[in-house]
Amino acid sequence: MYEIKVKSDFSSAHNLRNYSGKCEKLHGHNWIVEASFRYKNLDKAGLAVDFRIAKKALKEITEELDHAYINEIESFKSTNPTSENIAHFIYGRLRKKIKNVHSVAVWENENSCAVYSQVK
């Protein structure tokens, strides 16, 4: 099994609904997103997926979130914009662009991240 990972980042604000604590107030993060892809076989060039293609696909998605108030994005108007839900959102968008997405990790700071993957 081959696994490759690419990273992207974005800066945005959000606030958590149904939460009691500091995060219920409007605040921002400099998010880091790591996407992992798994492949059983390599192509003729010996690649699982071209890093350039994977990075471009992930960047297109994180650009939608960059300098946004996440609560106002359509997908998050009824879904709480937690790191877990943001990871799920990015995973779903990325899966439409590239096959074999294994997981998406969303870091809201250097010590805390949420990971979403689908068990197959």
58-102 pLDDT, tens digit per residue, is 999 999 999 999 999 999 999 999 999 999 999 999 999 998 999
Alpha carbon distance 20, 11 (integer Å): 23
Res 8 pLDDT > 70: yes
Q: Using CA atoms in the order 94, 98, 103, 104, what is the torsion angle rounded to 10 degrees?
A: -30
Res 120 pLDDT > 80: no
* Dihedral-angle region of residue 28 (phi above 0 means left; psi in -120 to 50 means alpha; beta otherwise): beta
Closest listed residue to residue 114, CA positions, set 97, 77, 89: 89
Element (H, E) at 12: strand 2-14
Q: At CA 111, angle to CA 109 and CA 116, rounded to 5? A: 80
Fold classified for 2-117: Tetrahydropterin Synthase; Chain A (3.30.479)
Give pLDDT, residue 99.
85
Bridge partner residues of 106 (DSSP): 33, 114
Percentage with pLDDT > 70 across the chain: 98
**Secondary structure (3-state) at 3:** strand
For 48, how many CA atoms within 13 A lie in the half-sphere containing its CB? 18
Percentage with pLDDT > 90 across the chain: 97
What mean pLDDT, rounded, does the chain reach? 96
Alpha carbon distance 105, 36 (integer Å): 8
pTM: 0.94
